Structure 1
Amino acid sequence: MDICIDFDGTCVSHEFPDIGNDIGAVPVLKELVEKGHRLILFTMRSDRKKKKKVDGQEVIVEENVLSDAIRWFEENGIPLYGVQKNPTQRFWTSSPKAYGHLYIDDANLGCPLLDNDEGSQRPYVDWLRVREMLVEKGVL
């Protein structure tokens, strides 16, 4: 399966623009890849340059928050099949929506969340329950 994965609140806790804390995604994501599934990072993060005033001077500031998320996958030994798009979809559609068989996102209706962590202001994905659901569906 091609599986689209959100980042903030899904792979890590919500700390945007910083990388959030570990929430248990790494072992499940690695298990998905080991089973032959392909992961597509599908996030609102992006790399961009913007104008900003520093000491009265207008300067160009780079924000590489998408690159930071990609680096998180690399540092955790989790290969990505695609970033923001499915590499094969260009052959059959020009849609900007990444095509996947499954989407794991803290904003998905029905995605199991944890919201009892005093260190986080927003709920995030409950990866133990997600793994149980993936086993129940035969994905893992």
Structure 2
Amino acid sequence: MYLCVDFDGTVVDHRYPLIGPPVPGALFWLGRLQKCGARIILFTMRSDGGASGDVLQQAVDYLEGKNISLYGVNRNPDQDSWTSSPKVYGHVYVDDAAVGCPLVHPEGFNRPCVDWAKVGPYLEKLCRKKR
């Protein structure tokens, strides 16, 4: 399963260009989904360079430092063989801005974020079906 995951508001609290505290359950579920066979693709607006530095690489380093291996960053390497589309191909997209994505607003967080207590188990069922 290709799992495209946003960063700010999905994995960490919105503190751009800084990296906020982790969204409750995000790292647990990403690790569990990775073990289930999900290919995790970081799908984020963060970019390299600019006044704030390489905020994209900071997000990549953060995830890898938490033992989350990325299959791709803002691209799915497998789609190069069958399309030249710039849209990242995935089976599922997890983003706090997505319509219908369950959200929570933990105390101290700047904005609502993904409710991994609901999203995680749902994704795990999908991942097991894709095996």
TM-score (norm 1): 0.84
Structure 1 counterpart of 2:20, one-letter code: G
Query: Take 2:16 and 2:45, find their aligned partners in 1: how far apart are those partners?
Result: 10
- 1:31 aligned to 2:32? yes
Displacement after TM superposition at 1:133 (Å):
2.1
User: Which residue in 2 is equivalent to 1:9?
Assistant: 9
Where does 1:126-137 land on structure 2 (aligned, <5 Å)? 126-135=115-124, 137=125
Deviations 1:102-138 (A, max 9, x none): 11111111111012x3412311011111123224x44
Query: Take 1:72 and 1:15, find their aligned partners in 2: how far apart are those partners?
Result: 14
Query: Take 2:121 and 2:85, find their aligned partners in 1: how far apart are those partners?
Result: 32
- Structure 1: gaps (5+ residues): 51-61
Structure 1 counterpart of 2:44, one-letter code: T
SS at match of 2:53: strand
SS at match of 1:18: coil
- 1:124 aligned to 2:127? no
Structure 1 counterpart of 2:112, one-letter code: P
RMSD: 1.4
User: Which residue in 2 is equivalent to 1:48?
Assistant: 49
Query: Take 2:47 and 2:56, find their aligned partners in 1: how far apart are those partners?
Result: 4
Where does 1:52-63 land on structure 2 (aligned, <5 Å)? 63=53
Structure 1 counterpart of 2:118, one-letter code: R
Deviations 1:61-91 (A, max 9, x none): x611000000011110010000000001111
Q: Quick check: which one's strand share is greater?
A: 1
Displacement after TM superposition at 1:93 (Å):
1.3
> Is contact 2:13–2:110 with CA below 8 Å preserved after alignment?
no
- 1:74 aligned to 2:58? no
TM-score (norm 2): 0.90
Q: Which runs of 4+ in 1 moved over 3 A?
A: none
Structure 1 counterpart of 2:5, one-letter code: I
Structure 2 counterpart of 1:89, one-letter code: Q
Aligned length: 127
User: Identity of aligned pairs, percent?
Assistant: 51
Query: Take 2:87 and 2:71, find their aligned partners in 1: how far apart are those partners?
Result: 15
Summarize the Cα distance change of 1:67–1:37 in structure 2 as closer, same or farther, 3 Å threshold: same
- Structure 2: gaps (5+ residues): none
User: Which residue in 2 is equivalent to 1:64?
Assistant: 54
